[in-house]
Amino acid sequence: MSAIAVDALTKRYGAVEAVRGIGFDVQPGEIFGLIGPDGAGKTSTFQILAGVMEASGGKVEIFGSPARDARSTTGYLTQSFSLYPDLTVAENIRYIGDLRRVTPHDIDDRAHRYLSMFDMDRFTERLAGRLSGGMKQKLSLACALVAQPKVLLLDEPTTGVDPVSRREFWDTLAHLAIEGLTIMVATPYLDEAERCHRVALMHLGEIREMGTPAELRGKLGAKRLEVHTDKLGDAEEILLRRSSEGQEIVDVQRFGDRLDVIAPDPDRGRKVVEEALGSQGLKSDVFRVDQPTLENTFVATLRNIDRGKSAEPPAYPGKHPHRDLAGQVAIGARELTKKFGAFTAVKDVNIEVKYGEIYGLLGANGAGKTTTIKMLCGLLGPTTGSMELAGEKGSLRSREVRERIGYMSQKFSLYDDLSIDENLDFFAGVYGVPPEEREEKKKWVLAFSGLEGKQDLITGSLPGGWKQRVAFGASILHEPSVLFLDEPTSGVDPLARRAFWRMINKLADMGTAILVTTHYLEEAEQCNRLGFMVAGELVAEGTPQGVKSKRGGHLLEFLVDQPQRAADLLREKGDRWRVSLFGDRLHVITDDDVETGKKKTSERLQSAGIQIREAYEEPYSLEDVFIVVVEKARQQGKFAKED
Amino acid sequence: MRRIFAQVRKELTQIARDRLALVLALALPLGLMLLLGNSIALTVTGVPIVVQDLDDSPASRNFIDAFRESVTFLVIPWTTALPPERAFESTKARAALIVPQHYGRDMARGLTTPVQLLVDASDANTAKLVQGYAGEIAANYQPAAAPVKAEIRLWFNPGRESKKFYGPGIFVLGISMFPPLLAALAMSKEGEQKTILQVYVSSISATEFLLGKIFAFLLIALAEWCLSMILLVTYFGLHLAGDPTPLLAATVLYAFCVASFGTLLGAAIPNQAASIQAVALGGFLLVFLLSGLIFPVSNIPPQLRWISGLVWGRYYIEIVRDALLQGGGWPAMWFNVVMIAVIGAVFYLLAWKKMRRMQLSV
């Protein structure tokens, strides 16, 4: 019997059809991923599966009984975690356990088991509201698990959670699946979707593609070329134009120091790239040919569906470029330190960002990124250290400085009870946008957000991803020369994320200095320079390529027959962080040279009877680098405040 | 049963964590009682009055002494040279008594003698009371031994202390406001923070969920009741008169009624700010204005009087006053107890109807 059986499921809200006859089966012990752009109908599907909302039509069964009757066998995690912030960790678990009629003895037992499994048994008496994002997420998972459900429904459980915690979370899920738990998960992070057994791509209430990650990648029938060139912005434009003319290039995406070009035939693709760029006098170098990622597939599929519609957002009506400033220092921080009482949130941070540069600030939850940003943009005075902002050293909050900076905060919300139009009018007013430019700018924000003609909607009624787009648009209405973006793309779907980054790149090309934080490390590749923060200190800095090559050791990828057992085995002896699991592939970081490392690891695995299909060296991804940096800093005694 | 208990424990833990809620639940009602109990007083005492004695005989002085003895008036010396209106203009006095010449002679002859009373009527209510009291003093004034003497005794509240009358009313106001406020907040918070989803996913029934919530706030209401009762006995000087069982039965029912009221509003309005306003409107305004707390129900215009028949606080105020002042017991109060139970049951049923499906209502 299938664990989850969905057939011809529909859901209507008034005239709006959110789910239009979807069907799928999930087998026991399977991790099934649901991906799709904002507003695809994922949350509605989850709510119906969890039995908290009625379907308009169709069949939803969990182990053979209707979803509503099967509630005692399902666990449900929402985006907002649904925890009681004023109860402690133990009390939260206790309450949910009681609601689900678990005996007090079993509650204690399982609470202990899962909390120690998640490495948070020290925090049982802490209030849930005072946990970090990663901890909250693990606690809500513990709450869901206390009733020992057979099916786990996770609706974007990792939004706003840092990469280290996300990786741990997925390791836990893999374990639970092996124990027989069926897991269905929605995620905006496509690297996470790679760890699912099967994935369904949902769009406008319908399932467009379904299969294993490898099948989906294969369906694209193309390869990914990494192209290095000197003028990325121009090269991207040229190649995009070229891709719409012929079939040789499917898609082009810009990263910090390279372009990814998707081409059905790598050899012809390479030739087309060289010709197209060469004819414009640009040098280029294709330095790697690789499999496309799931994200490439996602974007290509959605582009296919939307073909015909104008995919390109209208040009940004920038009237006041800052190109003449290029090369000057926009943000200069020296020895910034911030103490809150006895607690040092930020310690001796030096950051310099020039006009036209994109600087990415990375770090785990609680590493001090938001405090740093607040100091850099003058919202918070440092305890010690000096600051320079937009050419001003003294009063960072003067009117002139404030008019030149833009700030989109993590929780920056527009006014929920105003319409989109009213919000934009308000921000255009406070930022002093010249009246004759307002109409055009507002129109642009609406087009950029995909909300043309919907300016009278109440902002509070928009899904998170859309609100984020409007908020981003509002923060650049006044064409600031220095822009601070604190997790601008959190909870935004991959397609919109690309639009964000194209815009960010365009702003940088116009001379804007941009400082951005993000938990999506693949998009951090688009920054010109990166800084890693651990426990309030800046521990590493450089270009994406630079920080990767600075890492000692090598990253080895193993294709094995029992990936989870292999991962557990390797973690038993050795550092946990050196091993991570990506679907059926195993990443192992070794300090030896490639051959020795390959040999040592292979021997360990083979002695336990695990078959190795393939083993090779992989280039570091930024996420690997991030994890190594954080772990090394921790070993040197730097801990986030939570520990 | 266990789930109800779990629900109660969770609610009480949350309240205990929230300092503001604790203050709201326990300290504020006491403060409200002290404040309003002392400031609402509709009786008048110490009204400044000027007296012009144009006769200045032993008889007239004797008559004026009757005013001096009264607690209602405070006699202020005033020369006969100045017109008494001056005292009104400078707000030194609210009334003036003028005893004419020949007062002593007329009294000695046994003739009826008019005296003049001038009253500042800008505050109509006080003016009316002053007029009444002054008339009473004059009428009761017997210079010599009279054949008949009226012996007036005030029952239940011999000192006519308004504190004793309003204390119980404000006590009821506190219980009608703060527990439902907390209940509504707790309920709308679940909707606002989406924790309600966790409840929906478990198979707890609407009855278990609601009873757990309501029982928690019923306990809060009873705790507040005990504290306030102590204040009524110690500070307001009230004590139980007669059979306490109607009061105890009504109190438990009333606590259920107000907790259900708050829970209903919280369930219907998943927004904390809006549900506070709803409770303030329902709990405070209705009980304050239409329950006989300040204005007797019989003074409410007849077109609106029927509304007060639906105001739960009205029945409970009567019971509390009866238990603390009259002591009429069950024969006088059974109907009120029944009405509180009925209104409480209606609130509960409405809340149950709202939550019955234990699903997102779309």
Q: What is the pLDDT of residues B255-276, one digit of tens each?
A: 999 999 999 999 998 888 899 8
Q: Does A86 contact B14 at a Cβ distance shorter than 8 Å? A: yes
Tokens representing A20 are: 């239009």
Q: Which of B18, B194, B204 sits opposite A82 (nearest CB)?
A: B194
Q: Does B3 contact A13 at a Cβ distance shorter than 8 Å? A: no
| B10 shares its domain with B80 | no
From A291, A306, A334, the end of a domain falls on A291
Would you say residue B250 lies in a domain?
yes
Q: Are residues A98 and A111 in contact, defined by beta-carbon separation less than 8 angstroms?
A: no
DSSP A377: T
Alpha helix (H) residue ranges in A76-162: 89-99, 104-117, 133-145
CA dist B304 and A242 (Å) reads 79
Per-residue pLDDT, A529: 93
pTM, full prediction: 0.79
Would you say residue B76 lies in a domain?
yes
* B contact residues 3-62, partner A, Cβ 8 Å cutoff: 3, 5-7, 9-10, 13-14, 17-18
Q: Which of B2, B13, B203 sits opposite A71 (nearest CB)?
A: B203
Report chain A residues whose CB lies below 8 A from the CB of B194.
Answer: 78, 80, 82
- As a whole number, mean pLDDT of residues B305-318 equals 87
Tokens representing A224 are: 């990914």
| B263 shares its domain with B344 | yes
| B248 shares its domain with B312 | yes
CA dist A446 and A452 (Å) reads 5
Would you say residue A302 lies in a domain?
no
Would you say residue B146 lies in a domain?
no
From B140, B171, B187, the end of a domain falls on B140
Report chain B residues whose CB lies below 8 A from the CB of A67.
Answer: none
| B206 shares its domain with B293 | yes
Min Cα distance A186 → chain B (Å) is 17
- Cα dist from B351 to B213, B284, B354, whole Å: 11, 20, 5
| A445 shares its domain with A514 | yes
Q: Which residues are CB-neighbours of B148 under 8 A, at least 6 positions away? A: none
Q: Does A101 contact B17 at a Cβ distance shorter than 8 Å? A: no
| B56 shares its domain with B29 | no
Confidence of residue B183 (pLDDT cuts 50, 70, 90): very high
| A58 shares its domain with A75 | yes
Confidence of residue B351 (pLDDT cuts 50, 70, 90): very high
Tokens representing A151 are: 């099916």
Report chain B residues whose CB lies below 8 A from the CB of A51.
Answer: 200-201, 359
Could you give phi then psi for residue B53, rounded to 5 degrees?
Answer: -100, 100
Q: What is the pLDDT of residues B64-78, one digit of tens each?
A: 888 888 877 888 877
CA dist A285 and A191 (Å) reads 26
Q: A475-503 in b/e burial notation, b at 16+ Cβ within 10 A?
A: bbbbbbbbbbbbbbbbbbbbbbbbbbbbb
Nearest CA in chain A to B15: A86
Q: Which of B3, B193, B201 sits opposite A71 (nearest CB)?
A: B201
Per-residue pLDDT, B211: 94
Handedness of CA B18, B19, B23, B24 (dihedral sign): negative
Per-residue pLDDT, B199: 87
List, for chain A, all residue ranges whose pLDDT scores fall below the cut of 50.
310, 641-643
Largest CA distance in chain B: 95
Q: Are residues B247 and B197 in contact, defined by beta-carbon separation less than 8 angstroms?
A: no
The three-state secondary structure class of B212 is helix
| A147 shares its domain with A209 | yes
CA dist B318 and B292 (Å) reads 8
CA dist B126 and B131 (Å) reads 8
Would you say residue A634 lies in a domain?
no
Q: Helices A266-279 and A232-245 sit at what angle, rounded to 10 degrees?
A: 120
Confidence of residue B97 (pLDDT cuts 50, 70, 90): confident
Report chain B residues whose CB lies below 8 A from the CB of A86.
Answer: 13-14, 17-18
| A204 shares its domain with A240 | no
Q: Does B6 contact A95 at a Cβ distance shorter than 8 Å? A: yes
Min Cα distance B259 → chain A (Å) is 21
* Three-class HEC string of B125-188: HHHHHHHHHHHHHHHHCCCCCCCCCCCCCCCCCCCCCHHHHHHHHHHHHHHHHHHHHHHHHHHH
Q: Which of A68, A83, A95 sits opposite B10 (nearest CB)?
A: A95
| Angle ∠(B197,B200,B201) on CA atoms, nearest 5 | 90
Report chain B residues whose CB lies below 8 A from the CB of A91.
Answer: 10, 13
Per-residue pLDDT, B264: 94
Cα Rg of chain A, angstroms = 25
Q: Does A99 contact B202 at a Cβ distance shorter than 8 Å? A: yes
Q: Which of B3, B194, B362 sits opposite A99 (nearest CB)?
A: B3
Q: Does A96 contact B203 at a Cβ distance shorter than 8 Å? A: no
**pLDDT tops 70 at residue B362:** no
- As a whole number, mean pLDDT of residues B327-336 equals 88
Tokens representing B157 are: 């509240």
Per-residue pLDDT, A413: 66
Q: Does A53 contact B194 at a Cβ distance shorter than 8 Å? A: no
Q: Are residues A256 and A514 in contact, defined by beta-carbon separation less than 8 angstroms?
A: no
| B102 shares its domain with B74 | yes
| A85 shares its domain with A99 | yes
**pLDDT tops 50 at residue B149:** no
Min Cα distance A547 → chain B (Å) is 40
CA dist A227 and A220 (Å) reads 20
Beta strands in B15-161 (DSSP E): 47-53, 73-76, 95-99, 116-119
| Angle ∠(A94,A95,A96) on CA atoms, nearest 5 | 95
- Chain A positions contacting chain B at CB under 8 Å are 13, 47, 50-54, 68, 71-72, 74-76, 78, 80, 82-87, 91, 94-96, 98-101, 127, 143, 147
Q: Which of A62, A88, A95, A148 to mutate to test the interface with B (most CBs of B within 10 A)?
A: A95
**pLDDT tops 50 at residue B300:** yes
Min Cα distance B196 → chain A (Å) is 8
Cα–Cα nearest to A381, from A343, A333, A443:
A333
| B35 shares its domain with B56 | no
Cα–Cα nearest to A463, from A474, A453, A450, A473:
A450
Q: How many CB atoms lie within 10 A of CB A162?
A: 23
Per-residue pLDDT, A583: 64
DSSP B82: S
| A335 shares its domain with A477 | yes
Would you say residue B176 lies in a domain?
yes
Per-residue pLDDT, A88: 93
CATH number of domain containing A263 = 3.30.70.100
| B199 shares its domain with B343 | yes
Spatial strand order of the sheet with A284-290 comes to A251-254, A259-263, A223-229, A284-290
Domain that holds residue B57: 47-140
| B196 shares its domain with B306 | yes
Would you say residue A631 lies in a domain?
no
Would you say residue A560 lies in a domain?
yes
| B35 shares its domain with B111 | no
Query: Tokens 């209430």 identify what position?
Result: A205
Report chain B residues whose CB lies below 8 A from the CB of A56.
Answer: none
| B273 contacts chain A (CB < 8 A) | no
| A148 shares its domain with A247 | no
Q: What is the pLDDT of residues A434-458, one digit of tens each?
A: 888 888 889 899 988 888 888 888 8
Report chain B residues whose CB lies below 8 A from the CB of A84.
Answer: 10, 14, 193, 195
CATH number of domain containing B83 = 3.40.1710.10
CATH number of domain containing A181 = 3.40.50.300
| B335 contacts chain A (CB < 8 A) | no
From A164, A196, A216, the end of a domain falls on A216
Cα–Cα nearest to B220, from B195, B256, B166:
B256
Confidence of residue B179 (pLDDT cuts 50, 70, 90): very high
**CB-defined contacts A:B, below 8 A:** 78
| B30 shares its domain with B129 | no
Domain count, chain B: 2
Q: Helices B162-192 and B2-17 sit at what angle, rounded to 10 degrees?
A: 110
| B193 contacts chain A (CB < 8 A) | yes
| A202 shares its domain with A284 | no
Confidence of residue B146 (pLDDT cuts 50, 70, 90): very low
| A336 shares its domain with A440 | yes
Nearest CA in chain A to B209: A99
Per-residue pLDDT, B106: 82
| B32 shares its domain with B59 | no
Domain that holds residue A575: 552-619
Per-residue pLDDT, A524: 87
Min Cα distance A62 → chain B (Å) is 14
Q: Which of B202, B205, B271 to mutate to test the interface with A (most CBs of A within 10 A)?
A: B202
Min Cα distance B13 → chain A (Å) is 7
Q: What is the pLDDT of residues B191-218, one digit of tens each?
A: 888 888 888 888 888 999 999 999 999 9
* A538: region left, alpha or beta (phi > 0 left; psi from -120 to 50 alpha): beta
